[in-house]
A and B are shown apart, each in its own frame.
Chain A
Amino acid sequence: MYGSNEKILRVNLSTGLSTEETLSEDFYRLYPGGKALAGYILLNEMPAHIEPFSPENVLVIANGLMTGAPVSTATRYVVSARSPLTMGYGESEAAGFWGPELKMAGFEAIVVTGRAEKPVYLWIHDGQVEIRPATHLWGRLTAEVQETIRTELGDEKIRVLQIGIAGENLVRYAGLTNDLRHFNGRTGMGAVMGSKNLRAIAVRGKQRYQILAHDPVALMALGSKLAKGVRDNPQSWDLQQRGTPGLVEPLNAAGMLPTRNFHQGAFEGVDEIKWDAYEKQLLTARRSCYACAVRCKREVAIDGQVSQYGGPEYETVGSFGPNCGVSDLQAIARANELCNAYMLDSISTGSTIAFAMECFEHGLIGLDDTDGIELRFGNSEAMLAMIERIARRQGFGNLLAEGSKRAAEKIGGDAHFFAMQVKGQELAMHEPRGKYNVGMGYAISEIGADHLVVTHDTMLVNPESLTFKKAQVLGIRNAQPARSLNDEKVEQFYILEKWNSLEKVIGYCFFGPAPRSFIQADDVLASINAATGWNMTLQEALQIGERATNMARVFNVREGFSRKDDRLPERMFQPLENGALQGQNMQHDEFEQALTRLYELKGWDPQTSVPGRKRLEELSLGWAADLLERPD
């Protein structure tokens, strides 16, 4: 088989044994890595109701088909398990260099089961795997751990994927990092790894992707063409120039910058945190991921000192900036560093702190609860002080480490109105009241609120725009308003979700394929075909995406999730308090009608959201339909 090492590494931390498994081409064509491979393994190797912190939780780390190819943005891998934050399907993607290095070391994926008696780390190099002691690494910051591992293994080029102190302490939204600046942030996968006493996975490999490819010449020519095209496309050019921090000013102008826990859509302090300020005060360099010409990563210095952890991306600027009412850019950069050093999801951390700020402002909690810290909007010192407390589960941080949903349940009263979460995962820094399909994505995603479910509505509003024209090949017909959930918007959601899901399967970053960015759909297919020789059509590619989403849905159905869990925080149905969208809110009946329509398009039961057998069988998931019918 081309395009794949065909091998999965299985490590049982309870027994200390590791084995290899070979994938067949027939299997791999249906489940070509990433989200698809993870969903398949979780459904087939774990019964329902496994406690997320128990040894029985299965942790899957899976490259995509294209991960490590000499093509810009083909860099992503997925980390997946039952989530301790949502108690449902957990999953987070990241890029950088680690995924490609694992592929070069000879493996498509690692499946970790059991629990080590004492802290350990894995060392994988050119087809070999060792389980090494990590007691000396436990309790240390991520930068120190990476350096120590590289030194003791004698190679500065080793790529290290690791959890931090937050994962060791089972913070429900602890994440993983590779190279200290690429993050599997969401759904608490770091806590699952921590519960297994697994601190890190170090990888070194030398086998280049080209050896695996069906037509390496065509693949490299395509990669070369795409690399040259980065600066000729307005999306990818801007990702290089400004990167994601460039989103702050336009979102604010459009009234869609989440401010003070989603009360407002425009922030009076925006001039102090927009790209111009970031460039002047923080930026030292632009960096890239493996073989990627986009170069969207930012390097920064904080108070004049170069940071080991990279600069804050938009989500972090948003969640520690306007959403906490903070306009101090140095404080925001410091918050980013702390999250990365302890390895906390910056979105959930910032959002949970904003939740606590609102509780404090309303008198639901007081100084006695917060260790004497004035947790008010705008208090950047209080915000920073909470981060370490959360990571170490100290004082009030121990409650916040549970996430805003559980913290709200504990605090009681009106607190649940202040938790901006879906299924237990906090909303990202995009305002649904300005982009209704983004709202639908938050509501319906199997991982809880996720902003990367579909192309954002605003990109497809103008039929003359470049992004709309590039979306038409996917089946997008007529431009529709951003603030609508009419039938055609729902249809667009259905199509775009499949395309984004495909990216999560085969390992493309969101900043690669159109309509979001510069790689046309034709070229995505051409890359798959140069890698594998499969002659894949767009229809088959979209089916791969739909298959992966359905497996995640089946996982959640087994855990008791239902239509009632596909909802949005009540605040989304209340008017925005300021900015260009002042007075705007979503409507319950419009949302419910759209949800019913979406389930119909997906072939799911409109009352319960359970996928119907007919659609599952069309997607070669008859076995998943059997699973659903089996009594628990």
Chain B
Amino acid sequence: MKLHLGGNLPFFAPKRQKDLEIPLQGSARLSEVLAKLGIPVSEVYLTVLNGEQVIMEETRVENSDEVRLFPPIDGG
């Protein structure tokens, strides 16, 4: 599974990287995949699966999927 971490989410990635490749066997709950990586779902504002906006808690993913995550944004 391809995972792109937008905004400041790379802060939480194992090596603070913004793009990860995660091999998956069968399907898994996205929230569990993120928990294993140490990425807190509470910091995610928007979840995009294969180009479509989805609800994190309801989302299952497979090896061929592309996920993009974005945090909430304040002003600057």
Contact = CB atoms under 8 A, between A and B. Distances in A.
Interface in B36-52: 40, 42-43, 45-46, 48
B2 interface: no
Interface string B42-75: 1101101000010000000000000010111111
Contacts of B7: 238, 242, 246-247, 249-250
A250 B8 CA distance: 10
B8 A465 contact: no
Given A234-B8, A464-B42, 15 more contacts: A234-B11, A234-B12, A237-B8, A238-B8, A242-B7, A244-B76, A250-B6, A253-B68, A253-B70, A254-B70, A313-B76, A430-B75, A455-B74, A458-B73, A510-B76
B8 A456 contact: no
Interface residues of A, number: 38
A238 B76 contact: no
Contacts of A256: 73
Contacts of A218: none
B74 A459 contact: yes
B43 A234 contact: yes
A251 interface: yes
Interface string A446-474: 00000110011011011011110000000
Contacts of A396: none
A428 interface: yes
7 tightest A-B contacts by CB? A238-B8, A464-B42, A458-B72, A244-B76, A234-B11, A250-B7, A456-B74
Contacts of B46: 250, 253-254, 580
Contacts of B68: 253
Contacts of B70: 249-250, 253-254
Contacts of A234: 8-9, 11-12, 43, 71
A380 B29 CA distance: 45
Contacts of A404: none
Interface residues of B, number: 22
Given A250-B46, A458-B45, A237 B74 contact: no
18 contacts: A234-B11, A234-B12, A237-B11, A238-B7, A238-B11, A242-B8, A246-B8, A253-B68, A254-B45, A313-B76, A456-B72, A456-B73, A458-B45, A458-B74, A465-B43, A466-B42, A516-B75, A580-B46
Contacts of B42: 462, 464-466
A526 B72 CA distance: 28
A275 to B, nearest CB: 9
Contacts of A237: 8, 11
A573 interface: no
A393 to B, nearest CB: 30
Contacts of A466: 42-43
A253 B48 contact: yes
A40 interface: no
A438 interface: yes
Given A250-B46, A465-B42, A580-B53, A459 B72 contact: yes
A315 interface: yes
A494 interface: no
A237 B18 CA distance: 14
Contacts of A314: 76
Given A234-B12, A235-B8, A237-B11, A251 B43 contact: no
A466 B40 CA distance: 10
Interface in A480-497: none
Nearest to B45: A458
A465 B76 contact: no
A511 interface: yes
B72 A465 contact: yes
A438 B75 CA distance: 9
Interface string A313-332: 11100000000000000000
Interface string A42-81: 0000000000000000000000000000000000000000
Contacts of A465: 42-43, 72
Given A253-B46, A458-B45, A462-B42, A451 B8 contact: no
Interface in A241-282: 241-242, 244, 246-247, 249-251, 253-254, 256
B37 to A, nearest CB: 15
Nearest to B72: A458
A467 B45 CA distance: 12
Nearest to A249: B6
A313 B42 CA distance: 27
